[in-house]
Copies of this chain bind each other. A is one copy, B any other.
Amino acid sequence: MLRLTKKADYGLMALKYLAEQAQCPSASQPISGAASAKAIADAYHIPPQLLAKILQTLAKAGLLVSHAGTNGGYALARDAHDISAFEVIRAIDGPLFITSCITIHGTCDLAGHCTIKEPLRKVNDSITDLLSKLRIADLIEHADHPPDAALAGGLVTIAR
C-alpha cells in the first residue's frame, strides 16, 4: 500500500515536537529544547516504550542528541531546517525502495527477468528527492506563512 510505518510517523511527530521546543527553550534543561520520551509520548498519546525505542534509533542515526538523568531527554542534533523527512524515515524504516527489484546490492530478485526496474528506479529517485526537500521545520505550521513553501519550490507541481 506504499505507506510509511507508524514508527516513522511517530518519529516525524516527535521531531516536530522537539523543533517546536527548540523555538522557546527553557533554561532549566541540560540541553536546550530538550524533552523526555515520556513527555512527547504523552503529548501525542503514543505508547511511551515504543517511542523511546524510536528516539533511540534516531539518536544513534545522529539526528538527535540524548541526555540521561533527571531533566534529561532528547533534542535535535541540528537545526530543524537541516533535517529532512527522508533522513528520519530512512533511519527508522531502513533504506526505502519502491520496488522489491531494487535492493541494496542493485540486484533484482527476479534474476534478470524483471523488466520494469529502470523506470521505477527513476520514480524511486524522485520520491527520495521529494522527501529530502521536506524539512522538519516545514512540518511546523506557521499562522503567517503557509507550510506549502517547501513543496512548492519549483520541484513538483501539486495537482488539485
Using a CB–CB cutoff of 8 Å, the interface residues on chain A facing chain B are 1-6, 9, 12-13, 16, 43-45, 85, 89, 93-101, 110-111, 113-116, 118-120, 122-123, 125-132, 134, 138-139, 141, 147-148, 150-151, 155-160
Contacts of A6 in B (CB 8 A): 100
- Contacting pair B158 A155 (CB below 8 A): no
Contacts of A13 in B (CB 8 A): 114-116
Contacts of A111 in B (CB 8 A): 45
- Contacting pair B2 A98 (CB below 8 A): yes
CB contact between A89 and one of B2, B122, B139 (< 8 Å): that residue: B2
Q: Which chain B residue has the least Cβ–Cβ distance from A94?
A: B1
- Contacting pair A114 B3 (CB below 8 A): no
Contacts of A93 in B (CB 8 A): 1-2
CB contact between A151 and one of B123, B131, B150 (< 8 Å): that residue: B123
- Contacting pair A114 B44 (CB below 8 A): yes
A123 to B118, CA, bound (A): 22
- Contacting pair A1 B96 (CB below 8 A): yes
A101 to B9, CA, bound (A): 8
A123 to B126, CA, bound (A): 11
- Contacting pair B114 A123 (CB below 8 A): no
Contacts of A127 in B (CB 8 A): 2, 127, 130
